[in-house]
Every structure is written in structure tokens, then in C-alpha cells.
Amino acid sequence: MRYQFMMFPAAIVASISAQAEDFLTVDKAQQLIFPGATFTPSDLTLSEAQVDQLIQLTNATVFRSRVKAWKVSTGGWFFLDQVPGRDDRITYAIGLNDDGSVKGIEILVCVASYDGVRQAGWRSQFQGKLHADGPNLANQIANITGTTLSVEHIAEGVKRVLATHALFIANKTG
């Protein structure tokens, strides 16, 4: 084990954490959850009444009426969803089996940033300095340690997707 404690000018950290952490593309997430399958886009647009129904059932926040969904050739459904994260939105995918049970969840994009560093006002004081830092810091995904990031929004999102499937897909297709 080797380790070292250091201090970095905030401008450098701002330039690193300005990048979103891209984990997966939609294609890759699809193949990880449903290997070998093909996917037919089957987006839904929920009516106002359906949104109300969803809120009533899950107590979850419904951010948009359009639901990104794919029907899977080998059975089941693939959904793409976004929820608020600590600093920015988290984009994640969820695969459901035909019976509506969860087959897999993968995070596609999550922005982890240092406190306040992503806030435009705070960052603006470093504008112009952002590219002045050493090249060794480029392309680095920011590991940030501190108070544990909570993922209750993802849990809520999953609940909402499960209910969307149960109410407006499974119900319809029998």
C-alpha cells in the first residue's frame, strides 16, 4: 500500500468534476442485462390521468409523461429512466422480466462532483483557469469520499418504473 495526502487548488478539481461519469451506453446496458437480445423501441406517453394514477399508487415523483421503453426479443422490457442525484441527474437502465420482476439495474451516467464545485457561481471565479492545470489530471474520473451518497431517488424511480409496467404494459398486453 502506498498513499499520500495532498491539497489541490479547487480550480483543478472543478475541471475534473465538471465531467459526467459515463458508465455505459444504452446499447451496452441492454446487452449486459439481456445478452443476445434485440430491442424494439416502445415508448409510452402517459396521459394526465395515468400520471395521477402512478403518483397515487407509488407516491413517487413523476418527472415526465414520456417513458423510454424497449420490448425485448427474448421476453421482458428494458426502461431508461432519470432521477435527481446529489449534484445532477442520474441516468439508469432497468430490465424487467415478463412477470414484472427486476432482471437487472445498471447506472449509465452519474455526475459525482465536489461540493459546490459544480455550482456555476462558485465555479465562475475559476473560469479561464480551468485549462491551466497539469495534463496528468485530464480524463480522470473523480473519486470522492465523504458522507455517503444516498440513492433513495433511484429506489423511488425503480418503484415508479415497476408500477408503470404493471399498470400500463402488463395490464394491456394481458
Other CB atoms within 10 A of residue 121 CB? 7
Q: Does 133 contact other proteins by CB under 8 A?
A: yes
Q: Which phi and psi (to 5°) does residue 56 adopt?
A: -65, -40
Helices 152-164 + 48-58 axis angle, to 10 = 130
Q: Which residues ranging from 7 to 66 are in contact with other proteins (CB under 8 A)? A: 7-13, 17, 21-24, 32
Minimum CB separation of residue 155 from other proteins in Å reads 7
Lookup: cell for 31:
446487452
Question: Of the candidates 45, 56, 101, 148, which one interacts with other proteins according to CB under 8 A?
Answer: 148
d(CA 4, CA 171): 57
Minimum CB separation of residue 57 from other proteins in Å reads 20
Give me the residues that bind other proteins (CB under 8 A), please.
1-13, 17, 21-24, 32, 90, 92, 105-107, 110, 114-117, 122, 133-134, 140-151, 154-155
